[in-house]
């Protein structure tokens, strides 16, 4: 069994389906982050930056200018990841319903950290 989250981003039409094994994330954990609106706003800015890069490519903009913008997007995504990890540590990791699975959650955090460093 699994729990699926379906996210469709209205500005771009991109669809992201995430499937978690049942019990890894629970419905009670969804929406507990205090800055969801801020996070979505930040994500919308990143999407706007990506759309701007697409336009630059279509208009045959100077390569260095495009690379400068892609670097800005990477930095923005990295900052978003940092924020999400902080939120996870502050809220999800310390949630009473997760006390029995701390070792598994620690392993997940280490895995994400290693992915982020690549």
pLDDT the model gives residue 82? 86
For 45-100, the pLDDT digits (tens) are 999 999 999 999 999 999 999 999 999 999 999 999 888 888 877 777 777 887 78
H-helix segments, 7-101: 36-58, 63-87
Q: How far apart are CA 113 and CA 118, in angstroms?
A: 9
**What is the pTM for the complete model shown?**
0.62
pLDDT the model gives residue 117? 72
Q: Which CATH architecture has domain 2-117?
A: Up-down Bundle (1.20)
Token pair in block for residue 36: 């969801």
Q: How far apart are CA 85 and CA 108, in angstroms?
A: 11
* Cβ contacts of 91 within 8 Å, gap of 6 or more: 29, 32, 33
């Amino acid at each position: 069994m699994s729990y699926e989250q379906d996210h469709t981003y209205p500005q771009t039409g991109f669809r992201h389906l995430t499937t978690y094994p049942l019990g890894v994330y629970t419905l009670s954990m969804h929406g507990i982050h205090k800055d969801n609106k801020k996070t979505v706003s930040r994500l919308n800015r990143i999407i706007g930056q990506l759309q701007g890069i697409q336009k630059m490519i279509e208009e045959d903009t100077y390569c260095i200018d495009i690379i400068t913008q892609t670097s800005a997007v990477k930095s923005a995504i990295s900052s978003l990841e940092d924020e999400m990890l902080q939120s996870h540590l502050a809220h999800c990791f310390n949630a009473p319903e997760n006390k029995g699975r701390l070792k598994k959650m620690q392993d997940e955090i280490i895995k994400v950290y290693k992915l982020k460093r690549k």
